[in-house]
Amino acid sequence: MPSVPPARTRPRGARAAERVVGRNVLRREGREKLTGQAIYVADLAVDDAWWGTTVRAPHARARILAIERDPGYDWSRAVVVLAADLERRGYANVAHLIHDDQPFLAASVVEHAEEPVALVAAPSREEAERAAAHLRIRYEPLEPLLDFEGSRASFASYAIDKGDLARGFAAAATVLEGVYRFGAQEHAYIEPNGMIAWPSRDGVRRVQGSMQCPFYVVHALARLFREPEAAIRVVQTTTGGGFGGKEEYPNLIAGHAALLADACGRPVRLLYDRAEDMAATTRRHPGRVRHRSGLDSDGRLLALEIDVRLDAGAYATLSPVVLSRAVLHAAGPYRCANVRITGTAVKTNTPPNGAFRGFGVPQVAFALERHLDRLAAAAALDPVELRRRNLLADGETTATGQAVADAGASRQALAAALSRSRWRSTRRAHAAYNRRHPTRRRGLGLACYFHGSGFTGNGEIRLGSVAAVELAPGGRVRVLASSTEMGQGTRTVFAQIVAETLGLPYERIETVDPDTAEVPDSGPTVASRTVAVVGRIVADAARELDRALAARVGRPPGRRWTVATFERAARRHLAAGGERRFEARFANPAGQRFDDRAYRGDAYATYAWAATVVEVEVDLVSFEVEVRRVVSAQDVGRAIHPRLAAGQLEGGLAQALGWGLFEEVVMREGRMVNAQLTNYVLPTAIETPPIELAILERPFAHGPFGAKGIGELPMDGGAPAAVNAVAAALGVDLTEIPATPERIAAAWFARPPQERGA
Amino acid sequence: MKLRLIVDGRPVALEAPPMKRLLDLLRDDLGATGTKEGCGEGECGACAVLLDGELVNSCLVPVCQADGREIATVEGLAGSDGTLHPLQQAFWETGGAQCGICTPGMLMAAAALLARDPAPSESAIRTALAGNLCRCTGYVKIVEAVAVAARRMRRASPRRRAGARRGPVSRR
Ligand code: FES
Ligand code: FES
């Protein structure tokens, strides 16, 4: 068990002395982004590059009978790559991830609509598309598996057991069951996916583009071309949003672009347009969660039985880890002695679902928080009171038996969200408003949730991430890490951490765009790990540098440098032939221990905690929901850059509201039929309400300056809070999201007329 | 067809098919890639520019409609000496730009708003930006940035404040 110390670990004095951490310094890459000078993949001028395009299957499942080139078309200015070509050239047709079951190109059977079947490149986009249209592909459609409930093909399943479930239920005064369903969600980053690849030159293949995880691309391409990783060089371009959507799918795009470059001997740009990006790339896993729970007569949870079922799509990709995180968060930040959680991720013939901010937690948090409101009603308890009685306190244990020293932060978050939202008086005001108003109803909803920082279980230990700092000319320090900037402020925060560790001004610290030829593998930019995990490694590397320079000039380490003393020490150090670069590797600072067979132990090194209150007004004619207000209290450990932290929380909450209320992926025959921003409704500045935040700071002793991971936390609980608010406003039962006007109307008219009171 | 237009104050003459998208003319022919494409269907606003001062989505404008007119893009917002426009500065300070892909369009939409309403209310700002999607920020800091810039611009040129009375008075 990691020894997580109580509330305030460092003396207040130390914190008061911090000069860079906790301040809203101007973010890096600001000027470029604001003046239009930042270069995104589509902006990159590449001489003599050809354009690539991907030919995709129109069927959810089919046998490929033949792929023929129209003999009437002039193929001299186009190249085509098929699965057979990969085989011929001895390449491995497998997109390396977890199960390695997804091909770069379908060979004989198509497993989902939009599956890549052929690649075409030509000197212009128009020519590439024209050539692609002259490929004649004959399919024999096969019966697809589209219903995830009926699927027996499981990619992964997990179980967590704690206590004695039967005894828990036997003693319960109230038992309630429920089934909660949730739809998929598009990432809808405003910059679609794209990659540019160069043919192998001097034994190195270069790929550049929009991505979260440059080393994932290195691993995937090394596997594809059966080359050593050093033969692959991946550079991230300025990335216009990711949210998980640029975690694993870019491996495929990079492979495709590299195959085309290989085939035509020129650089190839493969840029998706919006429709292709929406239809073909990953989405948040749809699925359902079943709950059965028992409450004693004091409103304390005695038994929680939870079954999670996620629709993985046609290939495993990241579904096993998404499911794992879902299962580990399914019981929420609550105390319960008797728990059984099971989960499975099943195959359907639909495009693979994948990583999306929250990574399985939004789904289980929706189910649990909605269920708790229903459970409170069944037990005639106030929903706030039910949570208050069951939220973890400091040192209490989660479903995996992990004792979490700062778990009481969940209670602090609840108290802060309630007081900021003036929960009680607002509810009274709503009751009066609802009695008075003929066609509008207001309601408040609440959700409490948590999110583990970093990879699950032993993931970080296995990953063993590395980061480095190096001495740059002029007494400056450069941070080297593969963590990508995609809006969150990675480079800014890393610079702050190094500046603070050394006592140097923020401006003295340089950061670079990840280029795998230059930076060490600090792991992927996912899982709320960039600050909490990689930030710590960066700080460790800076401490190595400090020790070396301090020893060089004979002073004790750990003291603040001035610009002048640092510059002098750096010069002396280098003149004496000292190292320029200092690396540090993840060392499990929290002493985390997890049994990945029994699913017991320290599932995460630390958790961030939150409570969110949403206020809505529902129109009884159109059943449209107006979100009037969001109040959210989130514990971030330490806000290294309060404004950037707030930006993460606000953006995540807005995405969560979108998923809960507006965004609906409509699938027909295994294809997304609303793959356009015209009919996939993203919240605009009008639908997105003002968001009030209370940022709480219970430091994580092993995070840099106490920081926890916060990228995903805000995505986890906005949807249930919003749906609970709608349910409270109308007195209806809602168990499926998105809670569109149609679903709300159906729930409303399902009530007996005398209860509708309108 | 032969086109003459003014892009960010520079006269430009070139040959292009009349139905070519203004967005492609800017990005491909003029290399002005500051203006972004997020959807190509008029929904996201990443491609927004001002056409004779009017906010348009350049992915929906055929170049024949831009002939003889003046186009303002994000690339012309800052002063020639590199001084950022108050909107750019405010976006930077408040955190209104995260990934930055929506930012060029947001800035142009905000500039169009402040040109007609130097003292917009929060709801006027939200309405003016409703054609521009941002997936990163939840709009909070963007709305704040526009309000901050509006205030600074009013302070910098008090004469414009008289005009502000036409619009609702900002409470910020
Ligand atoms: S690219 Fe023009 S509106 Fe989206
Ligand atoms: S800052 Fe990323 S879309 Fe707006």
Q: Tell me: the pLDDT tens digits for A162-205?
A: 999 999 999 999 999 999 999 999 999 999 999 999 999 999 99
Question: How much of chain A, in percent, has pLDDT values that exceed 90?
Answer: 96
CA of B17 vs chain A CAs: smallest distance (Å): 15
Token pair of A655 as six digits = 């995405």
Residue A676's Cβ-side half-sphere holds a number of Cα atoms within 13 Å equal to 8
| 8 Å CB contact of B138 and A688 | yes
| A398, part of any domain | no
Residues with CB under 6 A from ligand 2: A 190, 241, 487; B 97-102, 134-137
| 8 Å CB contact of A489 and B102 | no
Question: How would residue A632 be classed by pLDDT, with cut points 50, 70 and 90?
Answer: very high
Q: Tell me: the pLDDT tens digits for A463-514?
A: 999 999 999 999 999 999 999 999 999 999 999 999 999 999 999 999 988 9
Of A181, A149, A109, A159, the C-alpha closest to A346 is A149
The pLDDT of residue B4 is above 80: yes
Cβ A247 vs Cβ A281: under 8 Å = no
Token pair of A447 as six digits = 């959700």
Question: How would residue A16 be classed by pLDDT, with cut points 50, 70 and 90?
Answer: low
Question: How would residue A14 be classed by pLDDT, with cut points 50, 70 and 90?
Answer: low
Question: What is the maximal distance between C-alpha atoms in chain A?
Answer: 88
* Atom 3 of ligand 1: nearest residue by CA position: B42
DSSP strand pairing (A691-696 vs A625-635): parallel
Residues with CB under 6 A from ligand 1: B 37-40, 42-47, 57, 59
| A524, part of any domain | yes
Q: Please give the full DSSP string across A452-478, using - where no structure is assigned.
A: E-SSSTTHHHHH--EEEEEEETTTEEE
- pLDDT of A757: 62
Residue A509 sits in which domain range? Answer: 16-38+465-585
- pLDDT of A576: 97
CA distances for A413 relative to A90, A390, B55, angstroms: 56, 14, 43
- pLDDT of A13: 53
| A545, part of any domain | yes
- pLDDT of B171: 33
Cβ A202 vs Cβ A209: under 8 Å = no
More confident residue, A291 or A590: A291
Edge-to-edge strands of the sheet including A62-69? A109-110, A62-69, A135-141
- pLDDT of A3: 34
| A276, part of any domain | no
- pLDDT of A651: 98
Structural domains in chain B?
A: 2-76 (3.10.20.30), 86-160 (1.10.150.120)
A440 forms beta bridges with: A619
Question: How would residue A754 be classed by pLDDT, with cut points 50, 70 and 90?
Answer: confident
A511 forms beta bridges with: A479
- pLDDT of B159: 60
What's the rounded mean pLDDT across residues B89-96? 98
What's the rounded mean pLDDT across residues A324-338? 98
Q: Tell me: the pLDDT tens digits for B113-137?
A: 999 999 999 999 999 999 999 999 9
CA nearest to A35 within chain B: B75
In three state form, how does the secondary structure of A339-388 look?
A: EEEEEEEEECCCCCCCCCCCCCHHHHHHHHHHHHHHHHHHCCCCHHHHHH
What's the rounded mean pLDDT across residues A511-539? 96
What's the rounded mean pLDDT across residues A208-217? 98
Mean pLDDT of chain A: 96
Question: How would residue A338 be classed by pLDDT, with cut points 50, 70 and 90?
Answer: very high
Task: Identify which of A192, A650, A686 has the shortest CB distance to residue B137.
Answer: A650
Q: Tell me: the pLDDT tens digits for A364-378?
A: 999 999 999 999 999
DSSP strand pairing (B10-15 vs B2-7): antiparallel
Q: Report the CATH number that the domain containing residue A538 is assigned in CATH.
A: 3.30.365.10
State the virtual CA torsion across B126, B132, B135, B139 in degrees, nearest 10. -20
Q: What is the pTM (predicted TM-score) of this model?
A: 0.96
Contacts of A653 in chain B (CB under 8 A): 138
The one-letter amino acid code at A705 reads F
| 8 Å CB contact of A647 and B43 | no
Distance in angstroms (rounded) separating the CA atoms of residues A535 and A521: 13
Q: What is the DSSP letter of A199?
A: -
Tracing tokens 């679902």 back to the chain, one arrives at A353
Distance A667 CA to ligand 2 centre (A): 27
Q: Residue A489 CA: which ligand is closest? A: 2
How many domains does chain A fold into?
1
Of A19, A609, A87, A682, the C-alpha closest to A365 is A609
Of A88, A678, A599, A534, the C-alpha closest to B38 is A678
Question: How much of chain B, in percent, has pLDDT values that exceed 70?
Answer: 92
Mutate which of B36, B37, B94, B101 to test ligand 2's pocket (most atoms within 8 Å of Cβ)? B101
Phi, psi angles (nearest 5°) of residue A686: -85, -45
Cβ A432 vs Cβ A693: under 8 Å = no
Q: Tell the burial category of A583 from Cβ atoms under 10 Å away from its Cβ (0-12, 13-18, 19+).
A: middle
Question: How much of chain B, in percent, has pLDDT values that exceed 90?
Answer: 91
Question: How would residue A383 be classed by pLDDT, with cut points 50, 70 and 90?
Answer: very high
The pLDDT of residue A699 is above 60: yes
The pLDDT of residue A718 is above 60: yes
CA distances for B18 relative to A142, A726, B21, angstroms: 46, 50, 8
- pLDDT of A18: 80
